[in-house]
Amino acid sequence: MSEKLMHENIQKAQKEIESKKEIVKAGQMRQHYHFMPQTGWINDPNGLIYYKGKYHYFYQLNPYYGHWDYMHWGHAVSSDLMHWEYLPVALAPSEEYDDHMRGGCFSGSAIEHDGKLFLMYTGTSNHGEGYVQTQCIAYSGDGINFTKYEGNPVICPPEGVPSDLFRDPKVWKHNGTYYMVCGASRNKRGQALLYRSSDMLHWEFFNVLAESRGEWGYMWECPDFYQLEDKYVLTFSPMGESDRKAVYLVGDFDYDTGKFSWQISGEIDWGMDYYAPQSFLTPDGRRIIVGWANEWQWMSFWKDWGPTYREGWCGFFNLPREVRLMPDHTLQFLPVEELNILRENKQSIREFTVRDQNIELKAGDGISFEMKMKADLEQTDADRLEIDLRCGGEKKTTCIFDFKHGIMKIDRNHSDGWSKGISYSTLFLKGKKELDIHIFSDQSSLEIFADNYQNNHANNVFAGDNQNQILIRAYGGDVLIRDYESYGMKECFR
C-alpha cells in the first residue's frame, strides 16, 4: 500500500481546487443554499454521518473538471446541515484496487468504530480484463486525514456476480455486530447482498437481503437499510427501470436469517433529478436522507448534464429530508426543519381565490425562495391548478395539479432553453379535504413537495436571474388557497 501516493494525489487534487475555486464560485448557475462542490463534478452522497459534534458529508468528486471521471471522496462538515465548511479531499485513487482513470474510489458509507471514523468504499480498477469492484476500508482518528487499510480489499465479488456490478456498501451496527448491504446483480436481476463482521475488517457473506424478480431492474445501486419505528426500510436506485430513480421498500427483517420481507413499495421522488439517496441519524434520532440532484445518461428522459460544466462544475445535492413512517406503512419525506434558519422576508395571505386569470405571487427575490400553501378541496371546483415558477419572457417551469385526471406534473420544456421533459405522478385526492403544496426554488433547481410530502418532484432548472416571476391560475372553475406563506432564503454558498 502506498500512503505516500494517496497523500500526493490528495495534494494534487487540493491544488486543483484551490486554483479554480474562486473562478467557479462566480458562476451564474451556482446554487444559493443547496450543497455543491467547490470545483469539478459531484455525484453520490457518501459517508453521511454525525461524528464528534459535526455533520459530515463525503461525496463522489472529480476535482479536475465538470464531468464524471477518476473518482475521489470530497469532504465537508457542518453544525446545522445548512452551512458547510469544505475540508481536504478524504480519499484519492492510489492503490492497484482503486487507481484507474475511469474508476477510483467509488461510493460507500461511514461509521464510528473504536473511537475512529471508518469509511467503507468501493474500489474500482481495470487491469486489462474489465472493471473489478471490491469493498475497501479507510479510517481516521481525527475525522479528516484517512489511511487505507493494508488488508484491502476486504470483500471481493461473489460467484455469479459480475465484477463490475458489485458496489456501494452501506454499513451499520446492531447488538455488537457490524452489518453491510451492498448493491449487486445476478442473472441480470438486481440484488442487495448482506454481509456481517465483528471488527469492521473481516467480513463474511450472510444472505441475499432482497432481490428483484424482474420488476426492479438488473442492478441496485446505492442500497440503504434501516429501521423506522417497528418496520425496516430498504432503498436503492435501480438500473434498467427507465424513469425509476429512488425506490423504497417497507417490511420486516429477521437478524437471525438476514432476510428482508417487504410489503410496501414506493417512490422517494418522482422528479427527474433525484438519485442515490443515503441516510443517517441525527443526534435527536431523526432519519435524514440526502440525494444527488442529477441523472445518468441511461435514463429515458436524459438530455445532458446541464450547462454548469462551462463554469467548471457540475452537480449538487437535493435538500436533506426527514423520513417518517405513515400509519399505512408508506413513507413521507419532509424537508428538514433546519431549513427554517435560512428564512427571511416572510409574506403571508390567509386566503385567496384563484380563477382563470394569472395572479402574481411574491416569494423572496423570485429565484431563491420557499413557498407554502393549501388548496381547499371542499371549496374547489376547478379541473386543475397551475403554478408557473421562474418565469421571464417566454420561459417558465409549470407545476400542474390536475384534479380532474388525478395527476401531478412538472413541465420544464420551456424552462430555460436547455432542459426538457415532464415528470409525472399520481395525485390521489379521494376523501381528502386539502392539498398541501411546499416549494423550494434555488438558482438551478426546483423541489416541489405535495400531498403530505409523498408526492415529491426534484427537477434541475437552469434559469437566469431575469426569470423571477411566479404566476398562479386555475382552469374549469375556482380554487380556494389558504395559509399562503413565502420566504426569501439566505445564501449559504455564494
Helices of type H across 57-119 = none
Other Cβ atoms less than 10 A from the Cβ of 439: the count is: 21
CA distance 182 to 251: 18
CA distance 134 to 480: 56
Catalytic, 44? Answer yes
CA distance 339 to 42: 22
CA distance 303 to 324: 33
| Cis peptide, bond prior to residue 37, ω within 30 of zero | no
Determine contact, residues 291/274, Cβ cutoff 8 Å: yes
CA distance 29 to 367: 11
Tell me which residue of 432, 431, 435 sits closest to 374, measured CA to CA: 435
What are 297-304's contacts with CB under 8 Å, separation 24+?
298/239, 299/242, 299/243, 299/245, 299/272, 300/242, 300/243, 301/243, 301/272, 301/420, 301/421, 301/423, 303/418, 303/419, 303/420, 303/421
Instruction: Quickly tell me which residue has 450543497 as its cell.
Output: 35
Residue 300's Cβ-count burial label (10 Å; 0-12, 13-18, 19+) is exposed
CA distance 251 to 236: 15
Instruction: Quickly tell me which residue has 492503490 as its cell.
Output: 95
CA distance 80 to 123: 31
Q: At residue 120, what is the residue type?
A: M
Determine contact, residues 327/339, Cβ cutoff 8 Å: no
Residues annotated catalytic, as ranges: 44
